[in-house]
Structure 1
Amino acid sequence: MQETPYPQPLLDDDELDRLDDFLDSERVDAEALDLIGSHGLLVALAVAPRDVPASTWVGELFHGEPTFANDAERDDILGLLERLKRNAIEALEHGQLPELPFDLELEGLAAEETPIGDWCAGFMEGVFLDESAWFEGDEEGAATLLLPFMALSGLFDDEPDMAELAGDPLQAERLVQQLPELVLDIYLHYRVPPESPKPSPRKKQPAGRGGRKR
C-alpha cells in the first residue's frame, strides 16, 4: 500500500512571518489578501491550466500597489511570493503534497469562519483570474474538481448545492482532510498530459493469398 507523501512546506517559518507582517501592515490596501488568502491564490496559480502574468496576479493579491519601504523590500516580498508559487509547482511535479498554512480541522466551525475558508477563497480568486482556461473543454469535469474549494470558500452560499455540502459537518470535514490531495489531483489534471498509447506494431502480410510477393 503506497504511503501518503508527507506535505512539503512551500516557505520556511521565517519567510512566512516576513510575508505575514507585510501583508498585515498599513502599507497594504485593506482589501488585499492576507497571508492565508495569498497562499491559496498562489497554489491555484501553480496548478492552473495556463500561466497568469505576475503583473496580473500581483495587482489582484495586493488590490493595487503597496507602499514598499525601498527596492530591497519590494524585491524581498515579491520574491517570496514568486518562490511560494514556484515551490508549489516543484513539489507537485515530484508527486508531493503542499503543506497548507492551517490545521486540517474545522472543529465544529463553518469553513468560512476559519483560515480554511480564507485559503479556499484565495484559491478561487486565482481561478477567477483566468476562469475560461479552467472551464474550457470540460466544464463539468472542472466543476467537479473545484467543487470542494468552492463549497469551503463561502463564496457560493447562495447556491443550494454548495450550501448543503458546506453545511454538512461530516462532509465538510472530509473535504478539508482531502485538500492537499485535491490540489495534486488538479495539478495532474491540468499540468500533466496523459501518456499517449504506444502504437501497435504492424503485422506483416503473409505472401500468397492476400499478400503480394515480389
Structure 2
Amino acid sequence: MSETPPPQPLLDDQALDLLDDFLDSERAGEDALDIIGAHGLLVALAVAPREVPAATWISELFHGEPAFADAAERETILGLLERLRGNAIAALEQGLLPELPFELTLGGVAAEETPIGDWCAGFMEGVFLDEAAWFEDDEEAAATLLLPFMALSGLFDDEPDMAEFIAEPREAERLVVQLPELVLDLYLHYRVPPEKPKPAPRKKKPAGHGDKRRR
C-alpha cells in the first residue's frame, strides 16, 4: 500500500521569507495582507472556477499600490506571488496536498485568533473576488465545501449557524487538520470535470442481415 505523499511547499523558505519581509514592510502599505493571508488568497485563486485578472487580485492583496523601490523589486515580488499560485495549481493538478504555512492545530485557541483563521480569511477574500463563479453551478455543493473555510475564518461570527459549526473544539480541530485535503476537494470540484460515461458498444448485426438477395 503506497503512502500518502507529504504536502507540497508552494514556495521555498527563502522566497517565503522575502515575501514576508516585503508584506510586513511599510512599502506594502498598512492594509496589505500579511504572508499568511496572501497565501490563503493565492491558494483560493488556484482553485477558483475561472481566472481572476492579475490586476484585480493584486489590488485586493495590497489594498492599493505598493511603494516598490524600483521596477526590479516590483517584478520580483509580483513574480513570487504568481509563482505561489502557479505552484498550487501544479500540485493540485497532480492530486498533491498543498503545504500550509502554519501548524495544523488550534491548541485550544479560537480560530480567528490564530494564523489558521487569517489564512482562511485570505482564502475567502479570494472567493469574494468572483463569488458568483463559485456558486453559480451548484450553490448547495459550493456552500458545503466552503463552509469549513468560512467558519474558521472568523468573518461570519455574527451568523449563529456558523459559530455553532465549530463550537465543539474537537470538530474545529478536525477541520483544521483536513484543510489541505479540503483544498484539494474544492479543486477537484471546480477544475476537474466529472468523467462522462462511456457509450455502450454497438451490437454487431448477424452476418448477412439486411443483405437479402433476390433469387
TM-score normalised over the length of structure 2: 0.95
Question: Structure 1 residue 93 and structure 2 residue 93: aligned?
Answer: yes
Counterparts of 2:40 and 2:106, CA distance in 1? 17
Q: CA offset at residue 161 of structure 1? A: 1.3
Counterparts of 1:193 and 1:2, CA distance in 2? 26
Amino acid at match of 2:27: R
The residue aligned with 1:31 is: 31
Deviation per CA, 1:69-119: give whole Å up to 9, x if none: 001100000000000000000011111110000000000000000000000
Any idea what SS the aligned residue of 1:27 has? Answer: helix
The residue aligned with 2:193 is: 193
Question: Structure 1 residue 15 and structure 2 residue 15: aligned?
Answer: yes
Contact map agreement 1:120 1:153 (CA 8 A) in 2: yes
Any idea what SS the aligned residue of 2:87 has? Answer: helix
Alignment of 1:1-214 (within 5 A): 1-206=1-206, 212-214=210-212
Which structure 2 residue ranges, 5 or more long, are not aligned? none
Deviation per CA, 1:166-185: give whole Å up to 9, x if none: 22201100000000000011
Contact map agreement 1:37 1:120 (CA 8 A) in 2: yes
Counterparts of 1:9 and 1:71, CA distance in 2? 27
Counterparts of 2:36 and 2:183, CA distance in 1? 16
CA-based RMSD of the aligned residues comes to 1.3
Contact map agreement 1:20 1:34 (CA 8 A) in 2: yes
Counterparts of 1:30 and 1:193, CA distance in 2? 40
Percent of pairs with identical residues = 78
Any idea what SS the aligned residue of 2:178 has? Answer: helix
Counterparts of 1:207 and 1:17, CA distance in 2? 73
Counterparts of 1:186 and 1:33, CA distance in 2? 23
